[in-house]
Amino acid sequence: MKKFALPLTLFLGLISSVYAADGDAEAGKAKSVTCAACHGMDGNSPTDLYPKIAGQHAGYIFKQLKEFQLGAKTGGKEGRNNAVMAGMVAALSEQDMKDLAAYYSSQTMKEGSTPEDVVAKGEKLFRGGDLERGIAACIACHGPRGVGHSLAGFPKISFQHAAYIKTQLESFRNGSRANDMNGMMRDVAKKLTDEDIEILSKYVGGLH
């Protein structure tokens, strides 16, 4: 069954990307006013409590907004559960989500940096994984520069806040976040140690 996982992921990602493609960036900019408090005017969040969404793939942004809304409607039983985002997406229509996705994806994510002390270990785990522990290489889905794959639904993770990446990896590991396609991220994260997560989260911050 696993041999069908990646093709299915590509198919589902393609659906989200195509569906989000008819968003209006200018309309999204006008609708982004309330988002700016946490994510910044252009999607470059000023605090590492919230992710940078500037330059993120439109299909991925659209999918997350949809799943935050689903999480709110189902009490977290489905989708993605987040108390802050639940309030933000409650009144959004699908067109609103498409427009917001179009706007933020048209922006440029500000570069981050990678501490020198994590480069060697981070590169080894990101590019090669760990065969003995059954950890897949991050590069397989997120690419050599961490830019992801828009059609497959894999997000851009390069330049992202280390604290945010760390929180998401921990959430995938403990199961509190479960909206990854085919459980791919949960499967990887459950095999990561605290040190692995610390290293990877810092490594991707300055990945070019």
Rounded to whole angstroms, how far apart are CA atoms 82 and 75? 10
Mean pLDDT, residues 177-186:
96
Which segment of 11-15, 39-43, 45-49, 161-165 scores lowest on mean pLDDT? 11-15
If one compares 44 and 7, the residue with the highest pLDDT of the two is: 44
Q: At what angle do helices 58-73 and 94-105 cross, to 10 degrees?
A: 140
Positions of CATH 1.10.760.10 in the chain:
2-105, 116-206
Residue 163 CA, chain-centre distance (Å), reads 13
CA distances from 115 to 44, 123, 125, 129, 200 (A): 20, 12, 15, 20, 11
**Is the pLDDT assigned to residue 205 strictly greater than 70?**
yes
Tell me which of 10 and 145 has the higher pLDDT.
145
Average pLDDT over residues 46-66: 97
Radius of gyration of the chain (CA): 16
116-206 belongs to which CATH class?
mainly alpha
Q: Is 110 left (phi over 0), alpha (psi -120 to 50) or beta?
A: beta
Taking all residues of the chain, what is their mean pLDDT, rounded to a whole number? 92
If you average pLDDT over residues 31-49, what whole number do you get?
97
Rounded to an integer, what distance in angstroms lies between the CA atom of residue 182 and that of residue 68?
Answer: 18
pLDDT tens digits along 126-165: 999 999 999 999 999 999 999 999 999 999 999 999 999 9
Fold of 2-105: Cytochrome Bc1 Complex; Chain D, domain 2 (1.10.760)
- Output the pLDDT for position 21: 72
The pLDDT of residue 2 is 45
For residue 208, what pLDDT band results from cuts at 50, 70 and 90? confident
Say what the pLDDT of residue 31 is.
97
Q: What angle do CA 186, 142, 109 make, to 5 degrees?
A: 110
59 vs 175: CA distance, rounded Å:
23
Q: CA-to-CA distance for 204 and 148, rounded, in angstroms? A: 12
Task: Please check the confidence at residue 8 and state whether its pLDDT lies above 80.
Answer: no
pTM: 0.90
* pLDDT value of position 4: 44
Cβ contacts of residue 164 below 8 Å, gap of 6+? 48, 49, 50, 51
Flag whether pLDDT at 207 surpasses 50: yes
> Average pLDDT of 103-118?
97
